[in-house]
Amino acid sequence: MVRVKICGLTKKEHIQVAVEEQVDYIGFVFAKSKRQVTVEQAKVLAQSIPEPIQKVGVFVNETVENMLHIAKEVPLDVIQLHGQESQQVVEALKPYTTIKAISVRTKEDVQKAAQYNVDYYLFDAPGIEYEGGSGNTFDWTLLENTKINRQNIILAGGLTPENVGRAIEQVEPYGIDVSSGVEIDGQKDEMRMRAFMNQTRNGVV
């Protein structure tokens, strides 16, 4: 079964919905974003996330020192690197599980993923205002014939309850990641979160 990450949660009531829907990963954005949370906010929200749900911190070109500090404080299970971080940064974050986001415009962008030795490769559309969370999709056919194992691929970028079934069928990723697609007017929406989960788990919107 495909794993699901819902990202950019900032409110307890939406964490509750994600927990009820048995998502696999909940993401907190610590980078500059309209969904940015402070360490203190994330710490409080994290208290209502039971195991085995994994808590993911999303960072953009943050220092290793800060990331490790925040990961310990919250605490986080997974670190998502959504900027132009190097493999050296990935190495410095062990033993945390790491996700490296790759912005995809071309086939060459997909090939760039091979320079990283990381737990998961998250393929996303290029950011607009911020590095991620644009709500835009990219051309999924660019992932065809990639050497990256499907079991290490997380698909992101503009996924919604309406297109996620098609995305899973076409890309066959390990996981999918959604933020904008389960929002209305910039806020997470319970009905869209539940519809997204229904669609991924049962093929029902």
Ligand X SMILES: O=C(O)c1ccccc1N[C@@H]1O[C@H](COP(=O)(O)O)[C@@H](O)[C@H]1O
Residues that bind ligand X (CB under 6 A): 7-8, 27, 29, 31, 33, 35, 58, 60, 82, 122, 124, 130-135, 156-159, 177-181
Whether 154 contacts 187, CB under 8 Å: no
Known catalytic residue at 24: no
User: Whose Cβ is closer to ligand X: residue 48's or residue 56's?
Assistant: 56
124, 177, 185, 189: the catalytic one is 124
Angle subtended at Cα 60 by Cα 57 and Cα 66, rounded to the nearest 5 degrees: 65
* Closest approach of ligand X to the CB of residue 58, in Å: 5
For ligand X, the closer of residues 64 and 158 by Cβ is: 158
Q: How far is the CB of 150 from ligand X (least distance, A)?
A: 18
Q: For residues 133 and 173, which CB has a smaller minimum distance to ligand X in the complex? A: 133
Instruction: Please indicate whether residue 189 is annotated as part of the active site.
Output: no
Residue 119 identity (one-letter amino acid): D
| Shortest Cβ 8–ligand X spacing (Å) | 4
Residues with catalytic roles = 7, 124
